[in-house]
Structure 1
């Protein structure tokens, strides 16, 4: 316990200028290694399920006719404190800006002093996809060879980057509301191709990844064949991209039980679903609960994005920056 009686009075102490590392988008993109992120998230989910991570519900403010801003703190012993602020403004695309903009701050867990400020936009995109791809690694059949990716935006791009790291897919199919977008994304990977017949693609897929900003289901539950793994990262309440009927046919996996809360904390597609019917991914990774039980299981992973994922990604970036002397030091 600290000896507060011998410490100087608070009125006699001033903060002064503190050195804080500043990392821009280029630094973050260079330092966030995809394989390290997947393995780091697996560790994060295990620690979360063990009760070793504080990752409370996100809180936010809504700006009428503009967007919303969410605050997401997280901490685990041995790691820095992380706080992300993410702003979602749909009108930004018309302005030539991403519709998701984020900033992450890291703090010393012993003193609370600021350590680092970094771009969180790249991290948000990549860690969201990585969570879903981690579910593919853990829940898809080992012999899964064909994946269909629905969505050709930021999440489509990040899924395409990460999916080959967890399975040797013979074919990656990409579908989008605008076929030209799917074609453009497919050109960036030799094993990918754009498809127009979404139903046919889904019916013959082993893995289906939903990565859209759709306000209504983008597939029919009846298209999913037995043995398929389905992941979904889209967030567009009140309905969203995942067909609710599919939940009746498969086994549901989530990040945490917070997924069943009302938006913006939880997922609109899970409204009315009993949380007891779902399994936390961390429980599977710990071996406490089963993942895929049979070859014929339909496994469904619905992600909302939690602060633990930002903490894991930001820690990888920060550790890399200190080793490689990246970024700029500011005095705050």
Structure 2
């Protein structure tokens, strides 16, 4: 017997079960190697136009911080919507300066499925995209890396870099040398350095991972054949020297990187978009990556919602299969 369809006025939402995943849950569910491979697929899909990820809006709280909303979806995945808040003064009260949550929704009905911590996902997916660029673009014989920045991103880069190249030494530099020393102690191949110019000038890979409002290196320090990545977001300027754009082959996540913040990268504002290659096109082989051993390659990240989409869906799938998390009623 055919069911009688109720009118909209007769239907109430009722209680909906929602999976809630803490930061500890998320950390325990992410496999870094799996994430790198999933992001490679995500970048290919993004370049091919298979990912919906509209421009991120920003709310600015004067003299306090800002909040970004980052939605994304791809066929076969749950809809993901991240809200990330960046409040620098949090560090003075012992709270991280980046705080985020990610909500997942059923693409068939729009019903909420999961609320998870997004702070750790933001940290690891940002570093993972940069490290993916190292895997794709650095010379395979690269043995020395320098990380500029000893905060959250410095730590994530240090954890992930050894997964893609057999580095003999990973140097850590920071505005506060004691922070570099503390971070270097966490990894057997890491060493804290004071002379950033010398470290950069003798490295095969340079990862800029700071929250600096001005360049943390000079373009002239970078030797031929180096791969440089930059993940810092600190408009109106930023950690990357624009002069490096003149002497390197540039790779970005999407063409939106050239728009004004909060959508794009401050360091790329006004630059010719035609000079860049999408990382996804290099991964798919649609366009060339590194073209010679002497070429300087540069990956500038703005952080796109596709990365959150991929990571959050990986976490959600793992949580369901392992029975991790708490069920709440909405």
State the distance in 2 between where 1:206 and 1:312 align. 29
Is the aligned partner of 1:253 residue 2:251? yes
Counterparts of residues 263-282 of structure 1 (less than 5 Å): 263-282=261-280
For normalisation by structure 1, the TM-score amounts to 0.98
**What's the offset of the Cα at 1:82?**
0.2
CA-to-partner distance for each residue in 1:214-258, whole Å, 9 max, x for gaps? 011000100001100000000111110000000000010000011
State the distance in 2 between where 1:258 and 1:99 align. 25
Counterparts of residues 165-244 of structure 1 (less than 5 Å): 165-244=163-242
CA-to-partner distance for each residue in 1:248-280, whole Å, 9 max, x for gaps? 000100000111110111111012210110011
Unaligned 5+ segments in structure 2 are none
**What's the offset of the Cα at 1:163?**
0.2
Unaligned 5+ segments in structure 1 are 1-5
**Aligned equivalent of 1:35, options 33, 36, 59:** 33
Q: Provide the secondary structure at the position in 2 that maps to 1:279.
A: strand
State the distance in 1 between where 2:269 and 2:82 align. 26
Alignment coverage as a number of residue pairs: 329
Runs of at least 4 residues off by over 6 Å? none
Counterparts of residues 71-150 of structure 1 (less than 5 Å): 71-150=69-148
- The match for 1:18 is 16
- The match for 1:3 is none
CA-to-partner distance for each residue in 1:139-171, whole Å, 9 max, x for gaps? 001111100000000000000000000000011
Q: Provide the secondary structure at the position in 2 that maps to 1:75.
A: strand
State the distance in 2 between where 1:271 and 1:46 align. 24
State the distance in 2 between where 1:57 and 1:42 align. 21
State the distance in 1 between where 2:64 and 2:217 align. 29
CA-to-partner distance for each residue in 1:176-195, whole Å, 9 max, x for gaps? 00111101100000011001
State the distance in 1 between where 2:287 and 2:242 align. 24
**What's the offset of the Cα at 1:7?**
3.3
- The match for 2:151 is 153
Q: Provide the secondary structure at the position in 2 that maps to 1:193.
A: strand
- The match for 2:5 is 7
- The match for 1:56 is 54
State the distance in 2 between where 1:143 and 1:56 align. 38
Q: Provide the secondary structure at the position in 2 that maps to 1:17.
A: coil
Counterparts of residues 281-320 of structure 1 (less than 5 Å): 281-320=279-318
